[in-house]
């Protein structure tokens, strides 16, 4: 039997596709309705219904059509997909009710005037905002960086472990992040590997051990000198381990005459990988690079990477600015990913113990959506992460600094150890 509700909805969506917005979306208020089954409880159903309504609102102002509906052998069949255009703005629930096994909502979205407003980054998007007056701190771990050419970095003491320490310090200064430095741990099974996807399973192990939502890793591709300058010298150390042409005639030990090749330009090229620790998926593979110029791109003596002496060199100053930009990009990438934590234990009374607490920004009364991981997609592709099913909602009844205790709301499934909880914004 043909599902006329689905057919009519698709026809409406296809009709909207012929009224695509071709350029800028002007400020307007859009209303839409959505519905979701009550199988996972009222709170979870409400969130899914709001998501459905937002999707319908987006379809009403533009959609990319990649679908087809047809009757084949007397049966309705749909192929392809229909994707809504992105729609920003504040969502307000106008009405809501439960009926016939479904939760229904009507929403209004006040969309911004994109012609008048500057483009927002993820970190300033109001739809990414944390609960009013506080910040939910997502847990992140920084790990060991492999160095592809260790000989080039011989003057940068401890580069592999000190680089993640520098990143941990700068990321930890961001209000929405709680960062642990695990610079002695690597995510790739072999340091010679270069594909971040190979670290997926180790990322999940590190995330479980550290109770983290994200893991940062990477590799240093190059620290090589890219330019040198000929400079005559007198009365300098006769260190023939440095490149140069040296005078070894009479009084050479006193005068130390030479023409030295002095490094004047040096590269820093690295990859920074951001992982979802709950699934092992790679969220960001960012290549950062800079060229430092000056007379101190190679320190006179080896210095610890990230030390005060290192930052005073021309090379350190160039890397300093580069890492600030990398940290800003990591923060922007993370800002719109919902706060998540794990259910570490469920007792005999059904109370769930969650790996986040007051220091992470949670409060008594917060409601968290409860998800259960399924098996990986066919082919075990680490890029796809792990599929999840929304199974219910839990409410926090007790908060400790690093631990919360929650109870399930009626109508949903009971939590299990290993389940994932995500913050449910109030709308």
Confidence of residue 426 (pLDDT cuts 50, 70, 90): low
The arithmetic mean of pLDDT across residues 2-17, rounded, is 42
Burial class for 412, CB neighbours closer than 10 Å (0-12, 13-18, 19+)? buried
- Where do the H-state alpha helices sit in 252-313? 252-255, 308-312
In whole angstroms, what is the distance from residue 93 CA to residue 88 CA? Answer: 15
Place of tokens 């995510």: 187
Closest CA relative to residue 76, chosen from 67, 66, 85: 67
The predicted-structure confidence for 140-186, as pLDDT tens digits, reads as follows 999 999 999 999 999 999 999 999 999 999 999 998 899 999 999 99
Q: Name, in order, each residue with C-beta under 8 angstroms of 150's C-beta and a sequence gap of 6 or more.
A: none
Strand partners, 354: 343, 404
The predicted-structure confidence for 274-286, as pLDDT tens digits, reads as follows 999 988 999 999 9
In whole angstroms, what is the distance from residue 102 CA to residue 410 CA? Answer: 15
Place of tokens 């070894």: 248
The predicted-structure confidence for 247-260, as pLDDT tens digits, reads as follows 455 554 554 555 56
Tokens at residue 183, please? Answer: 């610079």
In whole angstroms, what is the distance from residue 388 CA to residue 375 CA? Answer: 9
Report the pLDDT value the prediction gives residue 107, as an integer from 0 to 100: 86
**CA 29-32-37 angle, 5° bins:** 150
The predicted-structure confidence for 353-391, as pLDDT tens digits, reads as follows 999 999 899 999 988 999 988 765 544 555 566 778 888
The arithmetic mean of pLDDT across residues 400-406, rounded, is 93
Is-above-0.75 flag for pTM? no
Structural domains of the chain, ranges and CATH numbers in brackets: 4-119 (no CATH), 138-230+237-335 (3.40.50.10610), 340-423 (2.40.10.410)
In whole angstroms, what is the distance from residue 210 CA to residue 183 CA? Answer: 13
The predicted-structure confidence for 194-248, as pLDDT tens digits, reads as follows 899 999 999 999 998 888 999 999 999 999 998 877 656 555 554 544 444 444 5
Contact status, residue 51 vs residue 68, Cβ threshold 8 Å? no
Report the pLDDT value the prediction gives residue 11, as an integer from 0 to 100: 41
């Amino acid at each position: 039997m043909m599902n006329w509700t689905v057919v009519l909805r698709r026809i409406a969506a296809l009709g909207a596709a012929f009224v695509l917005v071709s350029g800028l979306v002007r400020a307007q208020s859009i209303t839409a309705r959505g519905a979701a089954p009550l199988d996972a409880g009222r709170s979870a159903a409400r969130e899914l219904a709001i998501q459905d309504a937002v999707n319908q609102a987006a379809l009403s102002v533009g959609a990319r059509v990649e679908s087809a509906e047809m009757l084949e052998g007397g049966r309705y069949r749909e192929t392809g997909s229909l994707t809504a255009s992105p729609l920003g703005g504040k969502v307000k629930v106008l009405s809501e009710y439960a009926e016939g096994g479904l939760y229904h909502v009507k929403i209004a979205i006040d969309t911004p005037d994109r012609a008048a407003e500057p483009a927002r980054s993820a970190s300033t998007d109001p739809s990414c905002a944390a609960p009013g007056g506080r910040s939910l701190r997502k847990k992140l771990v920084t790990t060991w960086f492999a160095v592809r050419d260790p000989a080039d970095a011989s003057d940068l003491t401890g580069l592999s472990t000190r680089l993640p320490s520098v990143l941990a310090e700068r990321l930890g200064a961001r209000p929405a992040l709680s960062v642990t430095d695990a610079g002695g741990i690597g995510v790739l099974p072999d340091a010679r590997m270069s594909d971040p996807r190979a670290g997926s399973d180790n990322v999940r192990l590190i995330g479980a051990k550290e109770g983290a939502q994200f893991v940062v890793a990477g590799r240093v591709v190059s620290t090589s000198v890219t330019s040198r300058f000929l400079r005559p010298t007198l009365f300098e150390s006769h260190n023939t381990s440095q490149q140069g042409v040296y005078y070894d005639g009479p009084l050479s030990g006193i005068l130390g005459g030479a023409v030295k090749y002095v490094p004047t330009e040096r590269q820093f090229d690295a990859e920074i990988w951001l992982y979802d620790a709950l699934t092992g998926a790679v969220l960001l593979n960012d290549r950062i690079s800079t060229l430092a110029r000056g007379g101190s791109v190679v320190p006179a003596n080896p210095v610890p990477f990230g030390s005060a002496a290192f930052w005073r060199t021309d090379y350190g100053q160039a890397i300093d600015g580069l890492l600030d930009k990398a940290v800003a990009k990591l923060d922007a990438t993370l800002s719109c990913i919902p706060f998540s934590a794990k259910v570490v234990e469920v007792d005999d009374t059904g109370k769930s113990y969650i790996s986040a607490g007051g220091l992470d920004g949670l409060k008594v009364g917060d409601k968290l959506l409860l998800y259960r991981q399924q098996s990986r997609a066919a082919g075990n592709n680490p890029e796809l992460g792990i599929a999840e099913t929304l199974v219910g909602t839990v409410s926090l009844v007790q908060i400790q600094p690093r631990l919360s205790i929650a109870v399930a709301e009626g109508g949903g499934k009971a939590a299990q150890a290993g389940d994932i909880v995500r913050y449910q914004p109030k709308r």
